[in-house]
Amino acid sequence: MTPTDFSHYLTTFLAEYLPAHRNMSPHTIRAYRDTFVLFLRYCRDVRGLKMEAVTVQVITATLITDFLAYLEQERHCSAATRNQRLAALHAFFRYVQIEAPEAMRECQRILLIPTKRALRPEVGYLSVEDMAAVLRQPGWETPQGRRDTVLLSLLYDTGARVQELVDLIVRDLRFEIPAQVRLTGKGRKVRIVPLLPQTVKLLHAYLEEQQLLQAGREDQPIFQNRYGAALTRSGIRYLVQKYVEQARDRQLTIPDRVSPHSFRHTKAMHLLESGNPLVVIRNLLGHADVKTTEVYAKADLRMKREALERAASLTPTTKSHDPTWLQNRSLLEWLKAL
């Protein structure tokens, strides 16, 4: 069977173009791959197209639009998920129009398919007291407790994404003053984040215990499971939920839903409440655009407004709630006459 032009372009897009030319991470490439798995299954199961019959000429803007509607209506995907799938498709057809100029017209029609406006969820974060309660849970009595204490402390201290923590290796740490950690984020963008002295002490003691400071172990993952392999995203998610549940038994103000990403939100909100400008927070979190960081400022403004409203309800009031000029009937009549 002769491979189709679609199979050729999709293979080179995922295996060569994204990693070599766009420098995308394996995690992002897997997310793009999953989009095309869903799309091909839709073509086969819903549209009755055989895999070997899917060519670039077959894929039209109408087919893509129908696929996006299928995601929302049949698979009950949110607008945000729908937009993520569309972003992967846009990236692919932006690549195809360069490789196959004869298909440019339909590619550009696909690129004109708009994203849907998605409601941005409220920023969930923990108070200083709640965060401290969670960090106290693992304890320092057992090797696993010491590892988990360091993991949670570093997750909060750096505001790292969970994948950035998974990818962390020994050579990414620097203990000399100024102590810092090198994080590799989305798009393989590297940023340097300073470490607090207390976190440095915890890290150094943990690495010594695990014999990770020895020569030749610079490329070892910092956080390992019992088999010596790096902890996975799901593993870290499990640990966070475990210690959050333990803390919630004693600290009832902890939100119902707390994930590893909540630590990132928490760090940002604590920095903002401490008076740090958005540009500093953006650089720490590794946001490409300060507009992404503005969500924390909006959340902080909303909380301040709610606090003022609560305070206003306790403020002593006079018999009349109207300003004095509204109580002056002759003045009101004169203003109306104008």
Query: Are 155 and 201 in the same domain?
Result: yes
Residue from 211, 259, 214, 268 nearest 239 by CA: 259
Query: Are 135 and 250 in the same domain?
Result: yes
Residue from 35, 116, 110 nearest 83 by CA: 116
Number of domains in the chain: 2
What per-residue confidence (pLDDT) applies to 291?
A: 57
Q: What are phi and psi of 215, to 5 degrees?
A: -60, 140
* Distances, alpha carbon 130 to alpha carbons 15, 18, 149, in Å: 44, 41, 15
Query: Are 51 and 164 in the same domain?
Result: no
In a domain, 74, yes or no: yes
Query: Are 177 and 231 in the same domain?
Result: yes
In a domain, 69, yes or no: yes
Q: What's the rounded Cα separation, in Å, for the pair 102 and 267?
A: 50
Please give the distance of CA 325 from its chain centroid, rounded to a whole number: 52
Query: Are 231 and 169 in the same domain?
Result: yes
**Which 8-state DSSP code applies to residue 319?**
S
| CATH code where residue 185 lies | 1.10.443.10
What per-residue confidence (pLDDT) applies to 307?
A: 47
pTM, two decimal places: 0.66
Following DSSP, what letter does each residue of 206-217 receive, concatenated?
A: HHHHTT-SSTT-
Contacts of 51 (CB under 8 A, 6+ apart): 40, 43, 44
Q: What's the rounded Cα separation, in Å, for the pair 138 and 140?
A: 7
What per-residue confidence (pLDDT) applies to 123?
A: 57
What per-residue confidence (pLDDT) applies to 77?
A: 92
Query: Are 85 and 158 in the same domain?
Result: no
Residue from 300, 309, 251 nearest 278 by CA: 300
* Catalytic residue list contains 264: yes
* Catalytic residue list contains 161: yes
Q: Catalytic pick from 82, 90, 146, 161? A: 161
In a domain, 134, yes or no: yes
What per-residue confidence (pLDDT) applies to 1?
A: 52
Query: Are 145 and 83 in the same domain?
Result: no
| CATH code where residue 31 lies | 1.10.150
What per-residue confidence (pLDDT) applies to 140?
A: 85
Q: Catalytic pick from 94, 182, 217, 261? A: 261
Q: What's the rounded Cα separation, in Å, for the pair 28 and 24?
A: 6
Q: Catalytic pick from 85, 90, 147, 264? A: 264
Among candidate residues 205, 225, 257, the one where a domain is terminated: 257
Among candidate residues 80, 111, 142, the one where a domain is terminated: 111
In a domain, 319, yes or no: no
> Are the beta carbons of 194 and 179 closer than 8 angstroms?
yes
Angle between helices 260-273 and 233-248 (to 10 degrees): 60
What per-residue confidence (pLDDT) applies to 249?
A: 82
* Distances, alpha carbon 62 to alpha carbons 66, 67, 163, 247, 324, in Å: 6, 9, 36, 51, 64
In a domain, 117, yes or no: no
* Catalytic residue list contains 201: no
In a domain, 333, yes or no: no
In a domain, 100, yes or no: yes
* Range(s) of the domain holding residue 212: 129-257
Query: Are 134 and 88 in the same domain?
Result: no
Query: Are 101 and 146 in the same domain?
Result: no
Q: Catalytic pick from 22, 33, 94, 186? A: 186
* Catalytic residue list contains 75: no
In a domain, 199, yes or no: yes
**Residues with pLDDT less than 70, the chain:** 1-2, 118-123, 251-252, 277-278, 280, 287-338
What per-residue confidence (pLDDT) applies to 325?
A: 45
Query: Are 142 and 253 in the same domain?
Result: yes
Query: Are 25 and 72 in the same domain?
Result: yes
Query: Are 99 and 18 in the same domain?
Result: yes
Among candidate residues 52, 81, 111, the one where a domain is terminated: 111
* Distances, alpha carbon 206 to alpha carbons 5, 140, 182, 201, 306, in Å: 53, 10, 18, 9, 42
What per-residue confidence (pLDDT) applies to 52?
A: 84
